[in-house]
Each structure stands twice: as C-alpha cells, then as structure tokens.
Amino acid sequence: MEIVKQIINNRSISVPILAWAITQIMKVILVLLQERRIDFRRFVGSGGMPSSHSAFVVSLAVVVGRINGFESSLFGIAAVVAMVTMYDAAGVRRAAGKQAEVLNKLIYNHDTLTFEEELKELLGHTPFQVIIGAILGVLFGIAFT
C-alpha cells in the first residue's frame, strides 16, 4: 500500500495525469458549447482543441524542471520527449488524419469499395491546438509544484 501512496504523491505522475484529464474535459465542454451536444468520446479520444498530449508532456517537463532543476539531465529528457510528442501531434498524426478523411470520402463515394468501419479522422492537432495544450501544461506544472 505504501508503494501506491508514493506513486500517487509523485508529482511527476500526478500532475501530468491531472493536466491530461482536465484538458480532455475541456474538449467535451468546447464541443458542447460549439455544437450543442455532449460527445463522450472526447473524454478519451485523440485530436481536437486543446492538445491533451501537449498538456501532459509539457506539464511533466515543468514538474521535472522545478523539482530537479532546469539544468538537470532529467529535465532535458522530459523537454525533448515533449518536443517530439508535440511535433508528432501537429505533424505526422495530423497528416494521417487528413489522409483518413480523403480515404473515407473515396470509400463513401464508390460502391465497389467497402470497409467495415470508417477510418478515424481526428488523430492530430493544428499547431494552435498544440500551443494551447503546451501553455496549459506550463500552467499546470507551475500551479501544482
């Protein structure tokens, strides 16, 4: 039981999870305000505004920097992982989502092409969504360490 308590009290774990969870809730609220509907898939889905991946990894980097020092190797590792994650979210995953959108249109408009389910289009983020997620990550990292 002591191990569980230590894990829960580890801010390098708890703060990023909190940042991710609140950012996911923000997505549900934004869909509700914009589209007047509740989309429970936004609680766990990828893509959308703001980037919870960015909030997660940036809050981790800030927490690690504040605890171990911004000159530490641990902060360097966390910062590099955050940059790679954000680049991937706005680059590779966004491109995959755009390709899925085109493929879904091709399948929908051709009777001879059939798939059991549509490809997921909301995979990545716009650069703006990534930046907002990163800002939220910084705020969470500062507020909770």
Of residues 61 and 8, more confidently modeled: 61
The model's confidence at residue 75, banded by pLDDT at 50, 70 and 90, is very high
- Which residue range forms the structural domain that includes residue 13? 2-143
Q: What is the pLDDT of residue 49?
A: 87
Of residues 139 and 99, more confidently modeled: 139
Q: What is the pLDDT of residue 107?
A: 66
Q: What is the pLDDT of residue 131?
A: 95
Minimum mean pLDDT range among 30-34, 121-125, 129-133: 121-125
Q: Which of 64, 86, 87, 48 is nearest to 13 (CA)?
A: 64
Query: Given a cut of 70, is residue 95 above it in pLDDT?
Result: no
d(CA 35, CA 9): 38
Of residues 120 and 105, more confidently modeled: 105
- What is the pTM for the complete model shown? 0.80
Q: What is the pLDDT of residue 103?
A: 65
Domain count, the chain: 1
Alpha-carbon dihedral 115, 118, 121, 122, rounded to 10 degrees: -140
Residue with tokens 């766990």: 44
